[in-house]
């Protein structure tokens, strides 16, 4: 059954490609308008630089794709929250790239924010982005107040998980079970936001609590699949493919260290298949989300 679902999703890939571009364009337009609502400062300029004009927008696409399972007009209903998911992701990238963290030079094919703006402005960018995310999502007129609050509580919890994951990534504490340590780190740093993006789309578009939980777990799996491939990309790809330098994980214990390149790719496929299995109870309305899960495993970055 899972193989049939995967094959059907691959057959729908061209539609998915067109649909995801619609979401990307809508997110870009919404964020561009959104920034204009705030005072024109160096902090806003740096925040815009970190968000606009690039990025796969996977997390916003997940919000909309999950919403479509429950409502055909999910893009209209979820767009502000989809933008919030991207803003939360961008805030985490600005922090990840800082000299005190990964000390990165490039992000999304251009100099990292801390290389392009004064440090005092960059220090405020993540706070700006997170508050903008809540402002956009909580002001969404297309969803009930109760559903907006529930979705945003979920994002606040995901943010705390991401911080715990970043602490673990920076500290690199040794563990008796390195595989378990790495999986927990991936779940906190990446899976939590992917899962919550799915949960938010489900909540806003009317899912039951049981459906919400299933969607959350499936989207965590998609995030884990992506994260294993991100470790692969760090040793096999470079700026034209991923928008950042390879070798940024040097000195860290990664999935490639633990499993090798092919082993890490295999684990990515395992989580893709796990996501598809969790989505078996949903009908063809979930094919867009299935296509996303499949696309993750067709790329090495």
The HSE-up count of residue 77 (CA atoms within 13 Å, CB side) is 25
φ and ψ of 164, to 5 deg:
-60, -40
Over range 155-182, report the average pLDDT.
92
Domain 2-298 sits in CATH at 1.10.600.10
Spatial distance between the Cα atoms of 35 and 50, rounded to a whole number of angstroms: 12
What confidence score (pLDDT) does residue 248 get?
54
The predicted pLDDT at position 7 comes to: 56
Cα distance between residue 17 and residue 292, in whole Å: 9
Confidence of residue 132 (pLDDT cuts 50, 70, 90): very high
Q: pLDDT (tens digit, 9 = 90+) per residue, 194-251?
A: 999 999 999 999 999 999 999 999 999 999 999 999 899 888 756 444 445 554 555 6
């Amino acid at each position: 059954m899972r193989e049939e679902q995967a094959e059907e999703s691959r057959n729908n890939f061209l539609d998915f490609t067109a649909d995801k571009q619609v979401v990307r364009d809508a997110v870009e337009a919404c964020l561009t308008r959104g920034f204009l609502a705030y005072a024109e400062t160096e902090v806003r300029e740096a925040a815009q630089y970190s968000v606009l004009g690039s990025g796969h927008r996977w997390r916003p696409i997940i919000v909309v794709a999950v919403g479509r399972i429950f409502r055909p007009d999910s893009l209209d209903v979820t767009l502000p929250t989809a933008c919030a998911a991207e803003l939360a992701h961008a805030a985490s990238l600005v922090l990840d790239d800082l000299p005190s963290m990964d000390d990165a030079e490039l992000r999304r094919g251009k100099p990292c924010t801390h290389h392009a703006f004064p440090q005092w402005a960059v220090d405020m960018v993540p706070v700006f982005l997170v508050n903008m995310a809540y402002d956009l999502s909580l002001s969404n007129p297309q969803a009930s107040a109760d559903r907006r609050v529930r979705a945003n509580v979920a994002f606040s919890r995901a943010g705390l998980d991401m911080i715990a994951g970043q602490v673990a990534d920076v500290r690199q504490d040794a563990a008796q079970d390195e595989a378990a340590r790495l999986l927990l780190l991936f779940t906190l740093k990446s899976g939590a936001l992917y899962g919550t993006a799915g949960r938010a789309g489900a909540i806003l578009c009317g899912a039951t609590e049981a459906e919400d939980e299933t969607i959350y777990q499936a989207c965590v799996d998609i995030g884990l699949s992506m994260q294993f491939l991100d470790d692969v990309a760090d040793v096999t790809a470079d700026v034209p493919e991923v928008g950042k330098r390879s070798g940024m994980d040097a000195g860290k214990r990664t999935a490639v260290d633990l499993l090798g390149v092919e082993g890490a790719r295999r684990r990515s496929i395992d989580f893709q298949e796990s996501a598809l299995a969790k989505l078996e109870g949903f009908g063809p309305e979930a094919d867009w989300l299935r296509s996303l899960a499949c696309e993750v495993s067709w790329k090495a970055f």
